């Protein structure tokens, strides 16, 4: 376990908690490095099917990049700090499902990390925004690209150009989060969803995610051809044989991940 990322495995779900509550879980270089190390380990760990990302405490998911690291830093050092592979992109392209459990401030790099996740569940007191403009900056963790895809260009422009924060209900209404629950229900709701997904075939989940993610980059005609190919790839697996057989035998499927 790292110093600033805590890990708790609940069945086939790994909960990664950014543990800097005194700094509202700001994304320091150490947080990003430890997160990358966990992602690398979990990627090949067959006992984990789904990741949940959250922040420690009840006030903040992630309040953005660590602003303390920006002061006095030369631009080329900043460029080095932003070198690939970046945690935002690794998460967005991750083969296993990743769910953001948003328990408070979800700002800047926090909002960008949440958008790199596959599904977002927020507590009703969460606050969202891309406040970089107020620092004389723009989003640098994918916000200018992922936010318009997530909520549409107009809402993305409004959020990025004003730096304003919005509440959870509005975030849900514009499609920035998929569900909003009371704070005391956040963990249970998220783990229920994560557990349900983690009970599916890991191989089929991977193929489904690959098809869905392709819709971000492919024209629809190419995406449909790609989906057909991936469908036939799923068709070739032992898990497809088991899934179909279990349905016909009226029993639960037992996935092998093959």
Catalytically active residues, by annotation: 112, 132
Contact 115, 146 (CB under 8 A): yes
> What is the contact mask toward ligand COA in residues 131 to 150, using x (rule: CB under 6 A)?
xx--x---------------
d(CA 185, CA 18): 20
* DSSP code for 218: S
d(CA 29, CA 22): 16
55 binds ligand COA (CB under 6 A): no
Which residue's structure tokens are 């016909």? 248
Angle at Cα 195 formed by Cα 190 and Cα 196, nearest 5°? Answer: 100
26 binds ligand COA (CB under 6 A): yes
Kindly identify the residues of this chain, within the stretch 86-105, that bind ligand COA according to CB under 6 A: 105
Stretch that binds ligand COA, among 62-70, 74-82, 143-151, 225-233 (CB under 6 A): 62-70
23 binds ligand COA (CB under 6 A): yes
Rank residues 108 and 243 by Cβ distance to ligand COA and give the closer one. 108
Which residue's structure tokens are 């092998």? 256
Helix then strand then coil, % of the chain, to nearest 5: 50, 15, 35
Q: How near is the Cβ of 1 to ligand COA at its closest, in Å? A: 23
Out of 14, 51, 54, 64, the residue judged to bind ligand COA by CB under 6 A: 64
Interacting residues toward ligand COA by CB under 6 A: 23-24, 26, 63-68, 105, 107-108, 131-132, 135
């Amino acid at each position: 376990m790292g110093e600033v990322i805590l890990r708790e495995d609940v069945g086939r779900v790994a909960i990664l908690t950014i543990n800097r509550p005194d700094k509202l879980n700001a994304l320091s270089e150490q947080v990003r490095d430890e997160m990358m190390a966990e992602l690398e380990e979990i990627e090949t760990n067959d006992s984990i099917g789904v990741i949940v990302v959250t922040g420690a405490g009840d006030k903040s998911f992630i309040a953005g990049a660590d602003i303390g690291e920006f002061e006095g830093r030369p631009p080329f050092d900043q460029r080095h700090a932003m070198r690939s592979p970046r945690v935002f992109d690794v998460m967005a392209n991750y083969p296993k499902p990743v769910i953001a459990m948003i328990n408070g401030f979800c700002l800047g790099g926090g909002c960008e990390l949440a958008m790199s996740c596959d599904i977002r569940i927020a507590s009703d007191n969460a606050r969202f925004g891309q406040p970089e403009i107020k620092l004389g900056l723009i989003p640098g963790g994918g916000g200018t690209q992922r936010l318009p895809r997530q909520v549409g260009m107009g809402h993305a422009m409004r959020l990025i150009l004003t730096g304003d924060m919005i509440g959870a209900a509005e975030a849900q209404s514009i499609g920035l989060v998929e569900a909003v629950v009371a704070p005391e229900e956040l963990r249970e709701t998220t783990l229920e969803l994560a557990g349900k997904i983690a009970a599916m075939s890991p191989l089929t989940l991977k193929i489904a995610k690959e098809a869905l993610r392709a819709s971000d980059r492919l024209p629809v005609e190419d995406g449909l051809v790609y989906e057909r190919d991936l469908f036939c790839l799923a068709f070739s697996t032992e898990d497809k044989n088991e899934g179909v057989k279990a349905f016909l035998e009226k029993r639960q499927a037992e996935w092998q991940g093959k």
